[in-house]
Amino acid sequence: MFIDGNNLTINQIIDVARNNAKVQISDEAKNAINHSRDFVEKIVEEHKPVYGINTGFGKFCNVSISKSDLKLLQKNLIMSHACGVGNPLSVEVVRAIMLLRANALSKGFSGIRLSTIQRLIDFLNLGITPVIPEKGSLGASGDLAPLSHMVLPMIGLGEAYFEEKKYSGEEILKKFDLMPLELSEKEGLALINGTQVMTAIGSIALYDAINILKTADLTAAMTMEALNGITDAFYPKVHEIRNQKGQLKTAENILKIVEGSKNVTAQTELKVQDAYSIRCVPQVHGASKDAIEYVEMIINREINAVTDNPIVLSDEGKVISAGNFHGQPVALAMDFFAIAISEIANISERRIERMVNPQLSGLAPFLSKSGGLNSGFMIPQYAAAALVSENKVLAHPASVDSIPSSANQEDHVSMGTIAARKGAEILFNTSKVLSIELLTAVQAVDIAECADKLSPVNKKVYDLIREKVSYMEKDRVIYPDIESCYDIIKSEALITETEKIVGNLY
């Protein structure tokens, strides 16, 4: 894979983060990088005071640094800014961070040496993953603390993983016969002043969210089968006259999924209407799809954006200190992401309740034919409710908060990395809720003894679940069943198999 700062995609990020795809810098990007670096070296030789090159940082922007101390300045920057705390970010997230930072630097607006970017690429291709604590970024000036941890092993400090084993920065360099990188003028700042941590977390969450949105339509359709759902609410004209894109697509999906079913019904056939959690699936799922489409637009822009400071405009002979490091676009988008995905869990949990509650389902209480001695599916609904409640707390927007830093020089920050992390956690919780709905729905189908009446698509889903999870005749330990459903969802097997029949669900 070649990167040039302009054409990186989310699918390519996933390929590098999860599949260890190899990365190279394009020749065009190398020329841009070298051109930008030549201009920085000219500034150094002319002793002009330029922020980030020969001055201090933040509140120290007015402090001039002697030429003899410029390399130490960059090293000190990395060491002093590596203040992250908490659990390490996952290997896949860190790999995405490294790729995104190398891609942004490849645009040629950062004044960094090609050899320094190449060290970052070498780490990626060798499978060396810096240990980056998940907490400590304000999201402006960029992701300073976590990105500093990314740089530490490159200069022989900090820690890194290789093949699931942790090494010190010094050890990992010795293992691969690499010398510690000596950072030159502007390079420390170029490596850490950007939004790549929030963007990496957001990119991976976004990729997985699309699978979850498709899965939500499948789980809702299976629940409709178990509860004799009414298809009239999905009639195309109903959604055409509202003209909301996601809603139209969701209604179309549901009708395709249940096509051929002998379980679903028409209005007044068994009942006049369904509850909102079934009848309003197009409106709720669809609105979340529209929200995620907006998030996708913002993340795709940020993937190939210059988020450095100062920005080196070598063609114009300028170095401009501005604010592209500010993570507000990503912060707002990921807060929206969190709310949109929370709603998928909210409505899913209500469908779970409808299946386990005999007053609402007409089925055996808690989907157990021997209730009392057996609790059946009573507590999976509890677990789903707990996850939904946690999501409500996490969905509070991070971007509405700000706290001044650097002696009030940096007096408004984005909290974008917190927004991204919360969004990813909500996505995880929502995946589990959908796993519980899917598990509950196939149990409900068996309790209703209607598996032979499923639509071809839902029969495929049913069979995929039943290959891993058997019908629960009497109480057993349920959490492995939930995990099995989660693994099936995460593997994208459900989507791969069903889209062979109905086409793209997103």
Residues 279 and 418 placed together within one structural domain of the fold: yes
Q: Is the pLDDT of residue 404 over 80?
A: yes
Domain boundary among 194, 229, 252: 194
Range of the domain at 37: 2-194
Q: Is the pLDDT of residue 18 over 80?
A: yes
pLDDT band at 410 (very low <50, low <70, confident <90, very high): confident
Residues 323 and 354 placed together within one structural domain of the fold: yes
Tell me 6's DSSP state: S
Q: Averaged over 251-276, what is the pLDDT? A: 97
pLDDT band at 67 (very low <50, low <70, confident <90, very high): confident
Q: Averaged over 481-506, what is the pLDDT? A: 97
**Number of structural domains the chain divides into:** 2
Q: Averaged over 441-461, what is the pLDDT? A: 98
Rounded Cα–Cα distance for residues 217 and 282 (Å) = 9
Rounded Cα–Cα distance for residues 215 and 348 (Å) = 11
Q: Is the pLDDT of residue 68 over 80?
A: no
Residues 214 and 337 placed together within one structural domain of the fold: yes
pLDDT band at 51 (very low <50, low <70, confident <90, very high): confident
Q: Which residue has the higher pLDDT, 71 or 435?
A: 435
**Residue 481: partners with Cβ closer than 8 Å, 6 or more residues away:** 439, 469, 472
Average pLDDT, the chain: 96
Residues 332 and 460 placed together within one structural domain of the fold: yes
The per-residue pLDDT for 60 is: 75
Rounded Cα–Cα distance for residues 295 and 301 (Å) = 10
Q: Which amino acid is at 220?
A: A
Q: Averaged over 283-295, what is the pLDDT? A: 98
The per-residue pLDDT for 330 is: 98
Residues 345 and 226 placed together within one structural domain of the fold: yes
Residues 405 and 444 placed together within one structural domain of the fold: yes
The per-residue pLDDT for 55 is: 79
Nearest to 216 by CA among 268, 157, 274, 287: 287
Q: Averaged over 91-117, what is the pLDDT? A: 97
Instruction: Find the helix packing angle between 196-226 and 328-356, rounded to 10°.
Output: 20
pLDDT band at 291 (very low <50, low <70, confident <90, very high): very high
What does pTM read for this prediction?
A: 0.96
Q: Kindly compute the dihedral angle of the four CA atoms of residues 326, 327, 333, 335, in this order, to the nearest 10 degrees.
A: -120
Residues 296 and 386 placed together within one structural domain of the fold: yes
The per-residue pLDDT for 216 is: 98
Residues 270 and 142 placed together within one structural domain of the fold: no
**Catalytic annotation, residues:** 51
Domain boundary among 165, 194, 223: 194
Residues 367 and 496 placed together within one structural domain of the fold: yes
**Block residue for tokens 């409808």:** 354
Domain boundary among 164, 194, 224: 194
Whichever domain contains 111, its CATH number is 1.10.275.10
Q: Is the pLDDT of residue 104 over 80?
A: yes
Residues 215 and 183 placed together within one structural domain of the fold: no
CB 244 within 8 A of CB 305: no
Residues 146 and 263 placed together within one structural domain of the fold: no
DSSP string, 225-259: HHTT-BSGGG-HHHHHTTT-HHHHHHHHHHHHHHT
Whichever domain contains 254, its CATH number is 1.20.200.10
Q: Averaged over 33-45, what is the pLDDT? A: 92
Residues 147 and 208 placed together within one structural domain of the fold: no
pLDDT band at 484 (very low <50, low <70, confident <90, very high): very high
User: What are 313's two structure tokens?
Assistant: 């405009």
Q: Is the pLDDT of residue 59 over 70?
A: no
pLDDT band at 70 (very low <50, low <70, confident <90, very high): confident
Q: Is the pLDDT of residue 110 over 80?
A: yes
pLDDT band at 65 (very low <50, low <70, confident <90, very high): confident
